[in-house]
Structure 1
Amino acid sequence: MPSPRRSIAGHLALVCIGVATVAVLLALLFDRLFENPWLAGCAALLVAVPVALMAARRAVRPALSLFRALAGTALSYRDGDFSFGLRWKPRDELGDLVAAHNELGGVLREQRLSLVQRELLLDTMVQNTPVAMLLVGDGGHVVYGNLAARKLLNQGRKLEGLALEALLRQAAPALREAMDRGGDGLFSVGDGDEEEVYHLARRAFRLNGRPHELLLLRQLTTELRRQEVQTWKKVIRVISHELNNSLAPVASLAHSGAELTRRGQHQRLEAIFGTIEERARHLEGFIRGYASFAKLPTPRLETVLWPLFVERLRSQVPFALEGGLPEDNARLDLPQMEQALLNLLKNAHESGSAPEHVALRVRRHPGLLRIEVMDRGTGMNDAVLANALVPFYSTKRSGTGLGLALAREIAEAHGGRISLNNREGGGLVVAMVLPVADHGVV
């Protein structure tokens, strides 16, 4: 059966009452012995004061011991040790304090255990991921490196504390060049069958108020080779389909022409030869489109005067100019940009839009140049929008799937991007967004 609850104030009151009672009894006793009230009072005080001090010390001694224990456990908590607990038998306010203290220690122990388990799980995942991870401090020294990073940069040995610059001097030249370029990018290590392709990602952040950089090196060789095989299969299917669509009728027409010649019926040969020529020119244009996509050179920037450039486009494809042209000239690869915009404008005319609704808009924003081609055709559904920029993807029966892909390649070669969005009220807007500096496109 638990002991009844008592309060510290009540306990101290009982001690005071006991001391006062002893003092009164001593005063009465000494009054009878000395028959002098003042002398009796002084004698009673001489005896009662030591008794009161002993009683007070005895009363507060357990509390003082408890306070020292509380200070010790608080220091242990500060040092991260939550294994200590306290025990206090009396059921009073100090007992409530001890119970709350022990409950706090239990909560901290559980949280610490959960945190340790999470750290172990995270460390296990980071250490066993195939992505090489490096955390570099502001002094250029490695703060953390997982197993993949150790194998890639230091033959499996620890990296912590080593200078990144020293590690890069021993690494492959391609990795050093990728680091010197800055930003994210791909690089290859090795030659021939032993070539490995990596993707470098860099992220800067502040940790404990100090700048750090996280480097992620991911091997993409297997994924790229698998994607390369799929791309080649798709290219072969498209080329085979196009060749069969042209060569089968050519072979049939050639056979018919031979039969007509043998019979001396020459009046239909002109039509047959015309059809053969048309199919041959179609194949020629098809192959030329593939060649232009595969052999896109590095852009050679030159100053572009917008009015002359727009008139040059309009002389080949009709369109309306929406809004004014930027006052600043741009620096672009003129043939490439002309080819990209001509493809986009021809697509706009083939979208089912009325010719007068095909428009071009050029706008200058801070740090950006936005060139938009707009139409009022049927637009695109979500599936077509998701694949429209993929090479060789086309919804047209005679399409090669290279027009939008080539425009995307040209935009990215200029450091920009391309986007497709349906317009409110119907139609499509294709936007080429290019970075610009004070002197033009960079």
Structure 2
Amino acid sequence: MAWAAAVAIDLPLLVYHVQRLLAPMRSLFRALAGTVASYRDGDYNFGLSSNVHGELAELVAAHNRLGDTLREQRQALVERELLLDTMVQNTPVAMVLIDPSQRIVHANLAARSMLGGGRRLEGQSFEQLVDNSPAAMREALDRGGDGLFTVGDANDIEHGIEDTYHLSRRQFRLNGRRHELVLLRLLTAELRRQEVQTWKKVIRVISHELNNSLAPIASLAHSSAALLRRGQLERLPVALSTIEERARHLEGFIRDYARFAKLPAPRLQPVAWSSFVERLRSQVEFVAEDIPADDTVRCDAAQMEQCLINLLKNAHESGSPADGVGLAVRRLPQHWRIDILDRGTGMNEAVLANALLPFYSTKRHGTGLGLALAREIAEAHGGRIALLNREGGGLCVSMVLPR
């Protein structure tokens, strides 16, 4: 009985002391649970302070380091989001994000100004917004894809006050759902600046070419008149021949410019490669490689012939030996690739970067229109053209056309 009485007295004391010893640990665990709940809610401002020692002290320190790291990452994320939002809101490109139900999720300030008269667009129907847009913009948005379009009626276009836009559309998945980003950029001011620069360059080139031809013509005409007065007729044929040469050069120069400016839309028809290449070989010398015997290409034969003859003549004028000038045709999965090859001097980086621009020429008497015209013809056929220096010297002019 004495033993039972001792247990009855000591057990409550033991429980009391155990609870007293465990109280700081329970308090610590409650604090841990509270800070974890705060972290889950996005609040990283809480930390732990405890007088525990040993492994529990290491746990508290690790928990506080985790809180510091999460807080720093959250702050960096907020700053990046703020920077991104500032950039999106202040870019001149109109941005509209559309959800799968064709509702506008986000629109920046440029989009509000361009499409909504300054009003917020979030939550509105994109289709309804398109219906209320100008006809040219509506057609471009309905057509889809990327491209340029011009907004303005016939009177605006006639007086040169229309606006030109670039449209691009990209689809991606956001939170597991397909969204679409529509980008609209007003290019009117940039295009007008480029147009002015182009006109200035055209005027400089034409003035230079006219002066180079008219000045000697005027001088030779004056000299011819003096020869006539002195009766020195034997020297007249040379002067008149030079006048004729300069006049014909000027005529060819103007004709080339007119041809570039008035290039019509290509009339696409099936053209057999074999007969087409034979027509080229009758006009300019080259080595033919890999010409498809029975295949055809859809092109405007006259324009493509003019384009390739110009490129082949350029190859001969590059300093390449005649047997180093070649034309190769290769079939790609969805395209034809036409390579005009030479073993001339090639081009440096600066020339490669500018060679396809109109009026750019490194030739003493060049007009700068040969490669530009070739590029214009290739792009009118839905293709593209590129210039590549070859290993071992020379140049490859590569044209890709749709099959």
Asked if these proteins are the same fold (TM beyond 0.5), I'd say: yes
Residue matched to 1:367: 334
CA–CA distance in structure 1, aligned partners of residues 300 and 144 of structure 2: 25
C-alpha contact 2:273 2:291 (8 A) present in aligned 1 = no
Residue matched to 1:61: 23
C-alpha contact 2:274 2:294 (8 A) present in aligned 1 = no
CA–CA distance in structure 1, aligned partners of residues 229 and 165 of structure 2: 64
Give the secondary-structure state (helix, strand or coil) at the position aligned to 1:385: helix
- Which residue among 107, 118, 123 is the counterpart of 1:145? 107
Identity %: 67
C-alpha contact 2:274 2:291 (8 A) present in aligned 1 = no
Residue matched to 1:276: 243
- Which residue among 283, 286, 300 is the counterpart of 1:333? 300
Residue matched to 2:279: 312
- Which residue among 41, 48, 55 is the counterpart of 2:3? 41
Please report the TM-score for the alignment, with normalisation by the length of structure 2. 0.93
Give the secondary-structure state (helix, strand or coil) at the position aligned to 2:368: coil
Flag structure 1 segments of 5+ consecutive residues without an equivalent.
Answer: 1-38, 437-442
Structure 2 counterparts to residues 342-353 of structure 1, below 5 A: 342-353=309-320
The structure whose Rg is larger is: 1
- Which residue among 76, 87, 91 is the counterpart of 1:129? 91
Residue matched to 2:209: 242
CA–CA distance in structure 1, aligned partners of residues 225 and 94 of structure 2: 67
Give the secondary-structure state (helix, strand or coil) at the position aligned to 1:419: strand
CA–CA distance in structure 1, aligned partners of residues 58 and 260 of structure 2: 80
Deviations 1:392-435 (Å, cap 9, x if unpaired)? 11111111110000001111111111111111222111110122
CA–CA distance in structure 2, aligned partners of residues 285 and 259 of structure 1: 29
Deviations 1:151-186 (Å, cap 9, x if unpaired)? 111111112222221111122222222223332222
CA–CA distance in structure 2, aligned partners of residues 158 and 423 of structure 1: 55
CA–CA distance in structure 2, aligned partners of residues 357 and 307 of structure 1: 21
C-alpha contact 2:304 2:377 (8 A) present in aligned 1 = yes
Residue matched to 2:79: 117
Flag structure 2 segments of 5+ consecutive residues without an equivalent.
Answer: none
C-alpha contact 1:326 1:364 (8 A) present in aligned 2 = no
Q: Name the aligned partner's letter for residue 269 of structure 2.
A: E
Residue matched to 2:52: 90
1:263 offset after TM fit, Å? 4.4
Residue matched to 2:166: 199
- Which residue among 38, 51, 75 is the counterpart of 2:13? 51
Deviations 1:204-230 (Å, cap 9, x if unpaired)? 222223222222222222221111111
CA–CA distance in structure 2, aligned partners of residues 394 and 427 of structure 1: 18
Give the secondary-structure state (helix, strand or coil) at the position aligned to 2:82: helix
C-alpha contact 2:273 2:296 (8 A) present in aligned 1 = yes
C-alpha contact 2:105 2:122 (8 A) present in aligned 1 = yes
Deviations 1:90-131 (Å, cap 9, x if unpaired)? 334333322322232122222212221221122112211222
Deviations 1:343-390 (Å, cap 9, x if unpaired)? 001111111112122111000011121001111111112221111111
Deviations 1:314-348 (Å, cap 9, x if unpaired)? 11111110223264211111111111101001111
Deviations 1:58-90 (Å, cap 9, x if unpaired)? 332332232222222212111111122233233
Please report the TM-score for the alignment, with normalisation by the length of structure 1. 0.85
C-alpha contact 1:408 1:417 (8 A) present in aligned 2 = yes
CA–CA distance in structure 1, aligned partners of residues 383 and 100 of structure 2: 31
Give the secondary-structure state (helix, strand or coil) at the position aligned to 2:212: helix
Q: CA RMSD in A?
A: 1.9
Give the secondary-structure state (helix, strand or coil) at the position aligned to 1:91: coil
